Structure 1
Amino acid sequence: MQLLKGQKADVTKGRSLNELILSFGWSAGNAQMGIDAAAFLLSEQGRCERDEDFIFYGNPVSQDGAVTHAAAGNGDKESITVSMSRLSPKAARIALTLTIYEGERLNHRMKDVSGLYLRLLDRQSGEELHRFEYGSDLAQETAIVVGELYRHNGEWKFSAVGSGFNGGLAALCVNYGLEVEASGSAEVAAAAETAVKGTEDTKAVPEEALQPPVLSKIDLRKKIVQFTLEKKQLTGVTARVGIVLDISGSMRNLYARGVVQEVVERILAVASKFDDNGVLDVWVYDNEFSRMDSVTERDFGDYVKREILNNRSIHKFGFNNEPPVMEDVIRKYTKEEKKDKTPVFIIFINDGGVVRATKKVIKNAAVQPIFWQFVGIGNSDFEVLEGLDNMTGRVVDNADFVHLDRIEEVTDEELYDRLLNEFPHWLKAAKEKRILQP
């Protein structure tokens, strides 16, 4: 059933429906635009009473497990799944939203997004119950209240809202009663003037929003890292974190599209949880290499453009040669800073064509307190890296390889899960061999 804006439709009435999937789809006109779906679990008063009732990529599962956020397939972008039987009776409504990350600051607006839709599906049968296409009337907005699921006479119904909202994610949070950190960001520059349009109970944003609040994306990613650390039993582990970035000719497009900047930001969230100082050490390499100034949360904005692309002293877009930069990584942590006995976690980004001499460096470095997590992006030849797990003659297995064809399309949850999969095993083995202090 195709829904129109303002229309209400039965969801559970006359159906045996246990789980509902709400699948979001869109097409962004700008490849650098970040768009996120979320759900707010609301009380009878229309408030999100706890932070835990805000379900998004940084908090993907509600406390009762009834509502989950995930990446979607079959052409959809993201999905919210609701288990009707497990949902707390305190949840009277579920507001479904879509936001542009820092839309005001980056001047990314809903007019640049097309093909917006929401599909309601019976998870068990796969049947599409309703489809709501919306957004053709939007322009400068940076957020949308797509619709609401709500209880009515013991059943669930859906209200197709599709109304724009100024101020992005933080303004939505304020509107639904959540507190967010104060910041100088323009994320909610007009928060005090905004309200959800088209809902039955239009509520103005509180006056306190005159000091623009913001939810920093790196803070949200740190929450996902923390969740992953708990799952991998890595809480309490301290490590130094570094990233080595391939800047050979085949990487030119990924630098130009901002993909590499996004990778740095995502890995910085790992460093922020592992290192008390929140420092991420950075190297770039092609047939030459450069050791960069380390980056922190205070200065990561436009880091790649500012410190790498605009730096004429850095050799760029040549051919691959991994051993020299790897030797410099080893030199930094084992010679220049040898008094620091903290384990080192190196994330090595490469898009193929690794020279075979890399294997010898890894083998010789097995006695050092350094774990090498190689990440292959794109669809090039990764023969050398794919053979890491079969390498013999090492004291411990000190390297791992994961292949992520389009890393920009991989969710933070999956990225952190795969990056941190082998690290705890190396920590244990390195302590047993006295490479690390027990």
Structure 2
Amino acid sequence: MLLSKGQKIDVTKGRKLVSVKLLFGWKTKDSSISIDAAAFLLSDRSRCERDEDFIFYGNPAARNGSTAHSVMSDANDRESITINLQRTDEQTAKIAFTVTIHEGEEQGQYMQDVSGLYMRIIDESSNEELFRYEFGDEFTKETAVVVGELYKHQGEWKFNAIGGGFYGGLEALCTNFGLEIESGSAEAAAAVEELVRSPIDLRKKLVQITLEKKQLTNVVARVGIVLDITGSMQTLYKNGTVQEVVERILAVASKFDDNGALDVWVYDTHFSRLPSVTEQDFGQYVENNILNNNAIHKFGRNNEPPVMEDVVKKYTDEEDDGTPVFIIFINDGGVVKPIKKVITAASVHPIFWQFVGIGHSDFEVLRQLDTMEGRVVDNANFFHLDDIAAVTDEVLYDQLLNEFPSWLKAAKEKRIIR
């Protein structure tokens, strides 16, 4: 199976896998270019908690025998990383795989000088190739690539094909994954900053493609996200899914909003309006501003109208400048029926509500949004995703922005927006 960028696939589900081997290959015209593959064993904080969790040529094996690096003699496969899935410890939530050019910046060697980059995953016991991922066609001055991540999800292992090219080489990667480096130079700090921002930049490119497809490139809009924090959402907060949702939606705000900020609310029976998140401070936003915030009421029952009314208050009373507002409302089921009254009353305001249902609830109330009567314009939409973490960015952005154009047109005709 040939993977595409952003694709997430099941690795162990439906298979009896004990150990997988990831094989890396590439071609260079200049024989002096030295490329290395590596693995970072990460906790649920997306960090290497110990130096020995960085597996590369200088530290070729994990102490528990779960992960091993080796150089290949094959003409095509250059290096391999073997993962014994049964030996990975409980602290390893995911494993990031990278390739870097050794001293690339110093030597003036970049990923644009490398061709034929690929990674393939095989079942070590049978040598059967399960997946192949070819990447690297768009790289220029990057010297490092996060190829992808093997991660745990509901007791199974999945793979996320990332293919993100970054600046700063191995030093920047180590810093990003929580490992201390000796160099404290301004250049290294700048490289790390560029690395941290790059995933958002990649997603912004995907948003831009979606905006062009839906003829939204000249639209300026405020963007906000409302996050369900009821009891049934607890696992998604703790396993990093909600953090990733915030990052994915931030890319939309960065393209739509003139200040590049994503406004944030959380709610259960109570609600909290939180500090906006930007490209400069999105890292660990959920942990720092939600999970570790004792002022937030968490993991109770749901009551949507109060938080929705606060959204309306912010944009129509406190900050009423006539700019269209695009609200993404994440909910895992069980919304109360009075939200219909709020949506109907808000139909005279420049606010569009995009509800996203996640999980396996029936979402009866939300499924009726398109047939609600009594509104000046149809100001709300709903779609359902069983597993939001398994949906690619391309698919997510396409669905998020599917009905926004028709609302903009209707709202202009009714002079709700200018």
What's the TM-score bracket when you normalise by the shorter of the two chains?
0.5 to 0.7
CA distance in 2, matches of 1:361, 1:332: 14
The aligned runs of 1:26-45 (5 Å cut-off) are 26=11
CA distance in 2, matches of 1:403, 1:137: 34
Q: Aligned partner of 1:397: which letter?
A: D
- Contact in 2 for aligned 1:218/1:269 (Cα 8 Å): yes
CA, structure 1 residues 392+21, in 2 after alignment: closer, same or farther (shift >3 Å)?
same
1:382 to 363, 369, 373: 363
CA distance in 1, matches of 2:399, 2:66: 31
Q: Aligned partner of 1:360: which letter?
A: K
Q: Aligned partner of 1:284: which letter?
A: V
CA distance in 2, matches of 1:238, 1:309: 31
1:246 to 228, 233, 236: 228
Q: What CA deviation, in whole Å up to 9, does each residue of 1:301-335 have, x standing for no partner?
A: 11111111111111111111111110110011001
- Contact in 2 for aligned 1:170/1:188 (Cα 8 Å): no
Offset at 1:143? 1.9
CA, structure 1 residues 189+365, in 2 after alignment: closer, same or farther (shift >3 Å)?
closer
Offset at 1:46? 9.1
Q: What CA deviation, in whole Å up to 9, does each residue of 1:271-307 have, x standing for no partner?
A: 1111121111111111111111111111111111111
Q: What CA deviation, in whole Å up to 9, does each residue of 1:227-274 have, x standing for no partner?
A: 111111100110000000111111111111111111111111111111
How many residues were matched structurally? Answer: 311
Matched, 1:269 2:251: yes
CA distance in 2, matches of 1:335, 1:233: 30
- Contact in 2 for aligned 1:98/1:146 (Cα 8 Å): no
CA distance in 1, matches of 2:330, 2:213: 24
Offset at 1:161? 12
- Contact in 2 for aligned 1:244/1:282 (Cα 8 Å): yes
CA distance in 2, matches of 1:299, 1:354: 31
Matched, 1:356 2:337: yes
1:406 to 387, 405, 410: 387
CA, structure 1 residues 410+284, in 2 after alignment: closer, same or farther (shift >3 Å)?
same
Please, what TM-score do these two structures have when normalized by structure 2? 0.63
Q: What CA deviation, in whole Å up to 9, does each residue of 1:175-208 have, x standing for no partner?
A: xxx9955699831669xxxxxxxxxxxxxxxxx9
Query: What is the DSSP-based 3-state SS (H/G/I as helix, E as strand, rest coil) of the residue aligned with 1:436?
Result: coil
Q: Aligned residue for 1:226? A: 208
Offset at 1:381? 2.5
- Contact in 2 for aligned 1:105/1:186 (Cα 8 Å): no
Query: What is the DSSP-based 3-state SS (H/G/I as helix, E as strand, rest coil) of the residue aligned with 2:293?
Result: coil
1:106 to 43, 47, 59: 47
Give structure 1 regions of 4+ aligned residues with deviation exceeding 4 angstroms.
22-28, 39-47, 97-105, 108-114, 137-141, 144-148, 178-185, 208-213
CA distance in 2, matches of 1:345, 1:296: 16
Matched, 1:186 2:186: no
Q: Aligned residue for 1:416? A: 397
Matched, 1:301 2:283: yes
1:324 to 303, 306, 310: 306
- Contact in 1 for aligned 2:305/2:339 (Cα 8 Å): yes
CA, structure 1 residues 244+365, in 2 after alignment: closer, same or farther (shift >3 Å)?
same
- Contact in 2 for aligned 1:278/1:296 (Cα 8 Å): yes
1:371 to 334, 352, 360: 352
CA, structure 1 residues 220+324, in 2 after alignment: closer, same or farther (shift >3 Å)?
same
Q: Aligned partner of 1:242: which letter?
A: G
CA distance in 2, matches of 1:224, 1:102: 26
Q: Aligned partner of 2:97: which letter?
A: T
CA distance in 2, matches of 1:44, 1:311: 53
Offset at 1:99? 7.9
The aligned runs of 1:39-54 (5 Å cut-off) are none
Runs of at least 5 residues in structure 1 that lack an aligned partner in the other structure: 1-19, 29-36, 48-94, 115-130, 149-157, 163-168, 191-207
CA, structure 1 residues 313+402, in 2 after alignment: closer, same or farther (shift >3 Å)?
same
CA, structure 1 residues 253+421, in 2 after alignment: closer, same or farther (shift >3 Å)?
same
- Contact in 1 for aligned 2:42/2:96 (Cα 8 Å): no
Runs of at least 5 residues in structure 2 that lack an aligned partner in the other structure: 14-21, 56-61, 68-76, 89-94, 100-116, 121-128, 134-140, 147-163, 177-186
1:135 to 72, 76, 81: 81
CA distance in 2, matches of 1:402, 1:335: 29
CA, structure 1 residues 101+401, in 2 after alignment: closer, same or farther (shift >3 Å)?
farther
Q: Aligned partner of 1:143: which letter?
A: T
CA distance in 1, matches of 2:375, 2:384: 23
Matched, 1:282 2:268: no
